Each structure stands twice: as structure tokens, then as C-alpha cells.
Chains A and B, each alone.
Chain A
Amino acid sequence: MTHPPASAFPPAYVLDDQVGFKLRLAYQKHAEIFASTLADITPTQFAVLWKLQDQGSLSQNELGRQVAMDAATVKGVIDRLKKRDLVKTAPSSTDLRRLDVSLTAAGIELIAEAIPKALEISRLTTRRLTKREETQLLALLDKLIE
């Protein structure tokens, strides 16, 4: 059987070629590197700890916004970090309905030790890209998420 010319049809949908599929794979690869380099915390826990060390104390809502996590996700992350005594929560001084989250001494210590490793994780994730390609990829992703 002869095939009709390809141009007669719209391009067939191939899962592997889709941006969403590639993004999931790329993030999975990164998460694997993260887990083998920084075994005791997850990427989302790291993001929350880093943001708190950068900003001091934040309300749970504001924290979620600043690390791009929805309310349920950030709450789950905070609950787990609280169980490990890495963060503490207290009613906000300005609005008692709100919870302010901040690092404990153990949290401050952990994030300081984790940051050099996090830089290594970033380096390992893009290790096969040239400096120029890495910059390009970061810029394209930035445009996508802005």
C-alpha cells in the first residue's frame, strides 16, 4: 500500500514530541539528581526552606505564591517540615487568622548546608549543555513561566 503525501494530513500527534511530555521527563531527571545529591529533603521542601531563609517570616499564602505552589501543596510541605522541626508556625501579629511560617535553628542550619549542594544539582542537571545552551534554556523556560 502506498502512503498519501504527508502534507495531506495535519502532523500526527506523537506523545514524545510534545512539550509537556519533555518537561515532565526533564523535571524527573532533575528530581533524580536532586534525590541522589540531597537525600534528606525534596525539591519542594528545599524551595520552601530557601524562601524562608531569604525572606524571614512569611504567611503561608504568601510563601506559596513566592515558590509557585498551590495552597494544598505548600500546606503539605510545611506540615512535613514542621514535623521535622525545620520550620515553625505562629499566628500572624497583624492578622490572627493567618499563620506566619519561619525557620527554626535546625532549619537555618540545614538550608545553609544544602545551598552548595543545590548549586551542584543545578550544575549536574545541565552538565551536557554548553554554557550558551544552558543560558538559552533558562531564558526560554523563563518566558514560558512568566
Chain B
Amino acid sequence: MGKDDGQSAAETDLHCNSYDLQAQIGYRLRVANQIAVEFFAEVLGPQTADLKITTGQFAVLSTLWENPGMAQTELAQATSMDMPTLNGVLKRLVTRGLIDVMVAPDDKRFRVISLTEDGRITAKSLRSQAHKVSDKVMEPLSPEERSQLLALLDRLIQAHRGT
């Protein structure tokens, strides 16, 4: 990184002039992500009106529906959330009565999360409609472009796993 120090003013100017925020991968990922979150609220909002389920909460409910009874660490990995984020989500889902958190009597750090009966009903009903969110996000793309996008996002995500 010491290279930056030797950079001439002209070079810096060139960078300033050639940088276009809207053309950067990070900008487009942020905006695409925002759109997906917006569409989630739009499509599933009416169904979750009183519960106000967010995308993060849905990820947890849906993962637990797919794998009933998960250790908190497994759940963090499956949903790609860090512990502080996941803890916040779990707290809100417990308050709404959608999940149960069981603490192992011999090791208080080990917690197993599962859906309550209400949680199962909510997860099932959201999951039956959630494909509409994906369809709406992907609407501007042809079927071929949709698979291309998913594959390229996978490549980008995989490249950074464990780094």
C-alpha cells in the first residue's frame, strides 16, 4: 500500500475524473439489495402487517422451517448473519412468540432455537408467497439472464467465503 504515497497529483486527478460511483459493483449491489428489501415489504407486508417481519427475520424463520431446532451458531452460519445481528433478530422473534430459545442447562452459551406453533404457521404462509418477491426483483431479466445473475452472484460470494 506504500505505492499510494508515491502517487503523483496528476494520477490522483485522473482517478477522480475516471471514478464513476454509479458504475461500481458496490453501488449496484447496494441498490439492488435495497430494491429486494423494498419488494419484500411490498409483497409480504400485507401478510405480516401486525408482525412487521423484516428480511432478516424471514431468513431466520425460513431456515428454521427447513431445519427445525438449530444451534445458534449454525443458524448464524446458515443465514450469514453475525452474532450481534442475529441476536437482535432472535430477540424480536421471541417477543412476537414466533420462536423458542432453549439454553442448555450445562452450558449457557449453547442455545437451541426452534419455531413455536405460531412461528411454523407464519413461516409456512410466508414461504408460500416469498417466491413472488424473487419474481418481482428479477422481472426486468429474461429467464437466461436470471440464471446468469444467480450464478455470477454465487461466484462473487464463494470467492470471499472464509476470507
Contact = CB atoms under 8 A, between A and B. Distances in A.
Interface of A: 13-15, 17-34, 43-44, 47, 50-51, 53-54, 67-68, 112, 115-119, 121-122, 125-129, 133-134, 136-138, 140-146
Interface in B114-163: 127-128, 130-131, 133-134, 137-138, 140-141, 145-146, 148-150, 152-160
A68 B40 contact: no
A72 B152 CA distance: 32
B155 A129 contact: yes
Interface residues on B, range: 35 or more
Contacts of B25: 30, 122, 125-126, 134, 137-138, 141
Contacts of A141: 25, 28-29, 32, 149
Contact of A144 (B40, B80, B141, B155): B141
Which 9 A-B pairs rank lowest in CB-CB distance, beginning with the nearest? A128-B159, A20-B36, A141-B28, A22-B153, A29-B160, A137-B152, A27-B29, A140-B149, A145-B31
B58 to A, nearest CB: 8
Contact of B19 (A21, A25, A115, A145): A115
Contacts of A118: 19, 24
Contacts of A29: 156-157, 160
Contact of A20 (B21, B40, B156, B160): B40
Name, among A141, A144, A146, the residue most crowded by chain B CB atoms within 10 Å (CB to CB).
A144
Contact of A116 (B4, B24, B27, B39): B4
Contacts, number: 163
Contacts of A43: 26, 30
Interface of B: 4, 7, 12, 15-16, 19, 21, 23-37, 39-40, 55, 59, 62-63, 66, 79-80, 127-128, 130-131, 133-134, 137-138, 140-141, 145-146, 148-150, 152-160
A69 to B, nearest CB: 8
Contacts of A28: 80
A142 B133 contact: no
Given A23-B29, A115-B16, A129-B156, A47 B140 contact: no
A115 B20 CA distance: 10
A128 B134 contact: no
B18 to A, nearest CB: 8
B23 A138 contact: yes
